[in-house]
Amino acid sequence: MRQKELQQKIKQLATDKGALLLAHNYERDEIQEIADITGDSLALSIEAQKTDKQLIVFCGVHFMAESAAILSPEKTVLLPRADAGCPMADMVTVEGLKALKKQHPDATVVTYVNSSAAVKAESDICCTSSNAVSVARSVAAKKLLLVPDRNLGRYIAKNVPEKECIFWDGYCATHDRLKVEDVEQIQASHPDALFMVHPECRPEVLNLADHICSTSGMYEFAAHNPATKFIVGTENGILWRLRKENPDKQFIMANRDMICPTMKMTSLEDVLHCLETMETRVTVAADIRIKARTALDKMLAVPR
């Protein structure tokens, strides 16, 4: 089937079944094209909560669908590819986190939303890449366990020097791969471009940035900054919407290999199959869901 036909078939079936199609900013272009809403993981989960629709098709990775299920347990949340996980989220286990907490009983656990529901349930408060610094500042404890991303952790530690920070040694290979030399080379070829970068990148790369922000922050920065050329330091799926919303501006990847293999798994065929079969449903057991929800709600209560 041609791409357009497949897209039309999906849209029709989604309408017939009353489904809301969500796509993360890193999904393939043809998936983002048919989504009702594109966004970052938390924004999409909040949209899933707000809609009257009872069926959510979440084109993304497993922890994202879990977050939607935590916020809306009464809805049906489908993940088109059950095997699309997040390698960084998988770097921390509940047992490992419990052991670290035992070593630091006086610390507050601040967990990035890019983590499993079970790990969130073992955490005191969650954070995203856009609110990480405010969340860390809001915590009363002097000592923080920052889980699972060591790069986001070091970014928090730099901006909240009054706290003692202990990092879980996880990382996102897609972002960690970006090196200082890559950025310096691109900056030398495009001296008039501004470098915007995600805090999942290494600290020495963040030092070269004009703007450090989440994916949503990049859309805002690109739209409102008068500059016309930007070097992009995050997963390349972000280019689709950046270019669509800013047709007169130029966006250059800081490194061509910033491609997340699991975010790119979901195909149009998978989305169609998911709507036809109603598989795979993602649910979170009540005991975990309630604890994970508490950690998310605490984060949502922190003023920006």
Under rule CB under 6 A, residue 215 binds ligand CIZ: yes
Under rule CB under 6 A, residue 114 binds ligand SF4: yes
Under rule CB under 6 A, residue 38 binds ligand CIZ: no
DSSP H helical segments within the chain, as ranges? 3-17, 29-34, 41-50, 62-71, 94-103, 117-121, 132-138, 150-159, 173-176, 180-189, 203-206, 215-224, 238-245, 268-277, 286-300
Under rule CB under 6 A, residue 172 binds ligand CIZ: yes
21 or 113: whose CB is closer to ligand CIZ? 113
Instruction: Report yes or no: 234 and 212 within 8 Å, Cβ to Cβ.
Output: no
Cα(158)–Cα(82) distance, rounded to whole angstroms?
37
If contact means CB under 5 to 8 A according to the sort of partner, which of ligand CIZ, ligand SF4, none does residue 41 touch? ligand CIZ
Q: What is the dihedral of CA 43, 49, 54, 57, to 10 degrees?
A: 20
85 or 96: whose CB is closer to ligand CIZ? 85
How many CB atoms lie under 10 A from the CB of residue 38? 26
Under rule CB under 6 A, residue 67 binds ligand SF4: no
Under rule CB under 6 A, residue 119 binds ligand SF4: no
Residues 174-203 that bind ligand SF4 (CB under 6 A): 174
Which spans of this chain sit near ligand CIZ (rule: CB under 6 A)?
24, 40-41, 113-114, 128-129, 172, 200, 215
Which spans of this chain sit near ligand SF4 (rule: CB under 6 A)?
26, 61, 86-88, 114, 172, 174, 235, 260, 262-263
